[in-house]
């Protein structure tokens, strides 16, 4: 059987297993076992045992449950309410007014959450009732939330960047730092779009509330101090080299517990709920990573990645053409799988092509995350769309339509980092290592 036929057989088997509702991790293990059993003489049991164990006990993985736990603690705290109170007085004169609370609130929460769905749910619970009560246009209210919540995947500490770093053996600290400027770029694009839209549709934005005295604005902004300290504590300790991502995650959990206690939202029940939520999410991701690691090794034994890399090389695609093809590929994959599954499923096959084309794997990690962000607001399996549908009761296609301008803005952000790769690489290069 030729390698092309073998690739198609294994791909069809994978999609059949995923489509039948079998867990992603089991599907990955099953396809890896089939590939090795049918097309390799390697000892299946020994390879599987050593690979799964090796993928499960890496020190870098310790950051994953800690950052997820930090997000779970904050999800149950008064953080989003405090952010609305602290941000809103400063935005009354900016075109679009309180719509910017969605964007800036998601940007801030993304920097302490690491999860796109958690960002959408937390900020949405707070902002949607407030904006609806003030008669803001529904499509912009939902669109700004859907688009901005994707920042949870990019702005560090990002769970998906940890997964990418583990899967491709890249420095997680450098990946975190690389995500800062692209995250700020996307926030700027979103704010700029809302400003322009509001100037073109002034009648759609309700009148602003009476302006508060400067002293009162400052007084309300004091409620932003704890979360800003948390961001500085986590990101600052990584950027300055004081702490590794794992150490910073532990610091983040401790600060999140203190913050939650300080705001009066930490109880025995919320502590246990957060711990259980983090445990379930971490186990799911670790299990998927173990399955993906075994599939990667199995694919190596079958020779498929080397064949595909050689095939791409023979086509003499320019790096831009390759990136265009991969963008389309990742968006299609993201229509059916969550972001973490997309990353772990594809790295074994895609990375040889990327390296063959001379593309920096660190830069490519940010590229992949932005494309996966786009898939988060693409039907039928855009996870942010599901979260917002649950919050608003709107039809999912209406939510997707409202999010379309932000999908295009993410595409513009992607184009900018392709044309100006320094947006991604300048901070990690300053950091060194």
Q: What tens digit of pLDDT does each residue of 293-351 get?
A: 788 788 778 776 666 656 666 777 788 888 988 888 888 777 666 677 778 777 777 88
Nearest Cα to Cα of residue 148 among 82, 179, 198, 104: 104
**Structure confidence by residue, pLDDT tens digits, 217-240:** 778 778 778 878 887 888 788 777
**Is the distance from CB of 211 to CB of 94 less than 8 angstroms?**
no
pLDDT score recorded for residue 122: 75
Helix (H, G, I), strand (E, B) or coil at 251: helix
State the Cα–Cα distance between residues 275 and 269, nearest whole angstrom: 10
The pTM score is 0.76
Question: CA–CA distance from 43 to each of 47, 51, 203, 298, 417 (Å)?
Answer: 6, 12, 70, 11, 44
Report residue 285 as tokens: 């991701």
Give the max Cα distance, the chain: 76
**Positions of the chain with pLDDT under 70:** 1-4, 58, 60, 80, 113-114, 208-211, 304-313, 335-338, 380-381, 432-433
Distances (CA, A) of 36 to 120, 239, 299, 300: 41, 42, 8, 9
Q: Which structure tokens are listed for 175?
A: 């990946």
CA distances from 330 to 16, 34, 78 (A): 19, 24, 36
Location of structure tokens 């991604």: 424
**Closest C-alpha among 404, 397, 385 to residue 338:** 385
Both tokens assigned to 315: 């086509």
**How does 247-265 read in b/e, with b if 16+ C-beta sit within 10 Å?**
ebbbbbbebbbebbeebeb
Torsion from C-alpha of 346, 348, 353, 354, nearest 10 degrees = 80
pLDDT at 87: 76
First and final CA of the chain: distance in angstroms? 45
Span 141-161, pLDDT tens digits: 999 998 898 887 888 778 888
Hey, what are 256's tokens? 């999140």
Look at the block and give the residue holding tokens 């301008």: 405
Q: Are 192 and 61 in contact (CB under 8 A)?
A: no
- Tokens at residue 192, please? 């700029």
Q: How far is CA 246 from its chain centroid?
A: 18
């Amino acid at each position: 059987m030729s390698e092309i036929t073998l690739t198609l057989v294994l791909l069809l088997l994978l999609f059949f297993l995923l489509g039948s509702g079998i867990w992603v991790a089991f599907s990955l293990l099953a396809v890896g076992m089939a590939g090795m059993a049918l097309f390799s003489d390697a000892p299946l049991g020994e390879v599987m045992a050593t690979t799964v164990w090796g993928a499960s006990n890496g020190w870098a993985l310790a950051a994953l449950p800690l950052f997820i736990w930090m997000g779970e603690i904050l999800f149950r705290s008064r953080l989003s309410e405090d952010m609305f109170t602290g941000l809103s007085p400063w935005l009354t004169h900016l075109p679009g007014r309180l719509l910017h609370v969605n964007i800036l609130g998601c940007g801030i929460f993304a920097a302490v959450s690491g999860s796109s769905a958690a960002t959408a749910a937390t900020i949405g619970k707070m902002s949607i009732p407030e904006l609806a009560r003030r008669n803001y246009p529904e499509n912009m209210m939902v669109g700004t939330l859907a688009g901005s919540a994707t920042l949870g995947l990019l702005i560090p500490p990002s769970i998906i960047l940890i997964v990418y770093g583990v899967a491709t053996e890249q420095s997680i600290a450098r990946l975190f730092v690389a995500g800062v400027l692209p995250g700020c770029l996307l926030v700027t694009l979103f704010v700029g779009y809302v400003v322009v839209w509001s100037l073109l549709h002034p009648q759609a934005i309700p009148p602003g509330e009476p302006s508060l005295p400067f002293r009162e604005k400052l007084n309300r902004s004091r409620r932003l101090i704890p979360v800003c300290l948390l961001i500085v504590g986590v990101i600052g300790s990584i950027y300055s080299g004081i702490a590794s991502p794992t150490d910073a995650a532990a610091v983040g959990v401790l600060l999140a517990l203190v913050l939650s206690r300080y705001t009066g939202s930490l109880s025995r029940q919320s502590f246990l709920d957060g711990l259980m939520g983090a445990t379930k999410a971490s186990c799911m991701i670790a299990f998927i990573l173990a399955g993906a690691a075994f599939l990667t090794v199995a694919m190596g034994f079958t020779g498929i990645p080397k064949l595909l890399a050689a095939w791409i090389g023979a086509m003499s695609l320019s790096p831009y053409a390759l990136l265009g093809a991969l963008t389309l590929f990742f968006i299609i994959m993201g229509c059916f799988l969550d972001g973490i599954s997309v990353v772990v499923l594809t790295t074994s096959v895609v990375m040889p092509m990327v390296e063959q084309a001379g593309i920096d794997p660190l830069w490519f990690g940010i590229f992949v995350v932005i494309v996966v962000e786009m898939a988060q607001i693409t039907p039928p399996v855009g996870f942010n769309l599901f979260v917002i549908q649950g919050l608003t009761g709107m039809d999912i296609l209406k939510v997707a339509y409202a999010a379309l301008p932000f999908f295009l803005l993410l595409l513009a952000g992607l184009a900018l980092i392709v044309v100006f790769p320094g947006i991604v690489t300048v901070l990690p290069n300053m950091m060194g290592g």
